[in-house]
Amino acid sequence: MLTYVARRIIQAIPVVFLIAVVSFFLMQQAPGGPQLAFNQNHHITTAQIDSWLKSWCLERDPGVVGTIREFAGWLGVWNCTGGGLLSAHGLPNFLPAALGGGTNGLLHGDFGFSIASGQPVLSEILNRVPATLILMGVSWVIWVTMAILIGVLAAVKRYSVWDQATTFFSYIFYSLPTFWLGLILIFIFGVALRWFPVQGIVDTRAAPAPFATDAYWAALAKDPIPNLFDIGRHLVLPVITLVAVSIAADSRFVRSAMLDSLSQDYVRTARAKGAVERSVIFRHAFRNALLPILTNVALELAFLFSGAIVTETVFTWPGMGRLYFDAVNARDYFLVMGILFIGSILVVIMNLVADVLYAWADPRIRY
């Protein structure tokens, strides 16, 4: 098992590297750059912009070689402060700092700084992760629970009215554009009925401090009930949106996994030996159907981090999807790369976890 995990991790490295290269190159090809932020400022000189860019290891108009150099700087192979491939100690820059390598770049655990805010990329991300995890986590728990209930019931009562109705509605919800569903919900429950707030994660006038600041967490710990209630109210509409569009695929998946399991020999054996139907369904069929469901659901976990760009935009939710979108718009190169990189690492990890989970839960599989 350990060799298997190790082999998978080693295989994943070139894939992640390739994704990083392609993303970086595409990002560089996009017109404009972070220096565009200075266009409004008439007092800034070209020389100032250039020295500012240089301090970020960027170039104004990098050719292919320049882009490779920038990428190498982000990765930590290139020493941006002069010295090229060598660190200040005259040794290869990619070595760990303790062995005389450089300190910049991903290889040294440095994601760089957000160009727009000047904050370290990691702290920008950590700032946004709570909101995204709250939104995506709550939605995920609800849609997985509901998908399992709906799917199992549809499989057990195959071709029944329930089965056909859930099939029909899952196709409908699956086909709705997320943002449109969000807009309709905003209009009905936010504008017309005024039941739920339509933007943000907390009520900015009532909140003790801006969300995700230390002061906010302190206030939340001291006075949890009204603050959690406030977040809960803001959660309702975006969670409904996310659950509605995500539940279809999962409930269909659960249904077919359960149907597959119900047609197996061990289910027939269980029935033949006279087990009650409830026990056949839950102890024999469902427990086996849980295997593929578990792996599928584990894969979804990786995407919780990245958030939902559209839902977060519609409801102005201060999460990762929104952070990524704004960073792309501002050509905030290091922030974009940081988010993409952590996202793809998580996908690789959750893929691995799903496979290991499967092998652990299914005694027939051996690596």
Partner 1 sequence: MTSRDDPAPPGSTVFVTGQGTMPVDIAAPADVAAADVEVALESLGQWQLAWRRFKRHRMALFGLAFLAFAVLVAIIGPIVWPYDPLIIPGVSGTNPGGDSPSLAHLMGTDNNGRDVLQMVVNGARISMTIGITSMLIAGFVGITVGTLAGYFGGWVDNVLMRVVDTFFAIPLLFVILVAAAFFGEGKVISLVLIFGLLSWPLIARLIRAQFLSLREVDFVEAARAVGVSDLRIAFRDILPNAIGPIIVAMTLIMANNIILEAFVSYLNFGISADQISWGNALAQSQNYLVFGNWWWAFFPGIAIALTVIAINFIGDGLRDALDPRTRL
Write out the residues near partner 1 by the rule CB under 8 A. Answer: 15, 18-19, 22-23, 26-27, 29-31, 158-159, 168, 171-172, 174-180, 183-184, 186-187, 190-192, 252, 256, 259-260, 263, 309-310, 313-314, 325, 328, 340, 344
Which residue lies nearer to partner 1 by CB, 117 or 264? 264
Radius of gyration of the chain (CA): 25
Q: If we measure between CA atoms, which residue out of 215, 240, 235 comes closest to residue 317?
A: 235
Q: How far is the CB of 179 from partner 1 (least distance, A)?
A: 5
Is the distance from CB of 17 to CB of 341 less than 8 angstroms? no
Which residue lies nearer to partner 1 by CB, 95 or 153? 153
Long-range contacts of 206-212 (CB under 8 A, 24+ apart): 206/230, 211/130, 211/131, 211/318, 212/127, 212/128, 212/130, 212/131, 212/318
Q: How far is the CB of 339 from partner 1 (least distance, A)?
A: 10
Q: How far is the CB of 157 from partner 1 (least distance, A)?
A: 13
Give CA angle at 123 (203, 84), nearest 5°: 150
Which residue lies nearer to partner 1 by CB, 252 or 284? 252
Spatial distance between the Cα atoms of 305 and 136, rounded to a whole number of angstroms:
8
Is the distance from CB of 255 to CB of 154 less than 8 angstroms? yes
Q: How far is the CB of 19 from partner 1 (least distance, A)?
A: 5
**Bridge partner residues of 92 (DSSP):** 86
Q: How far is the CB of 27 from partner 1 (least distance, A)?
A: 5
Which residue lies nearer to partner 1 by CB, 281 or 339? 339
Q: How far is the CB of 107 from partner 1 (least distance, A)?
A: 21
Is the distance from CB of 140 to CB of 296 less than 8 angstroms? no
Phi, psi of 148 (to 5 degrees): -65, -45
Count the alpha carbons within 13 Å of 258 in the hemisphere toward its beta carbon: 24
Q: How far is the CB of 263 from partner 1 (least distance, A)?
A: 8
Which residue lies nearer to partner 1 by CB, 141 or 184? 184
Which residue lies nearer to partner 1 by CB, 110 or 312? 312
Which residue lies nearer to partner 1 by CB, 102 or 182? 182
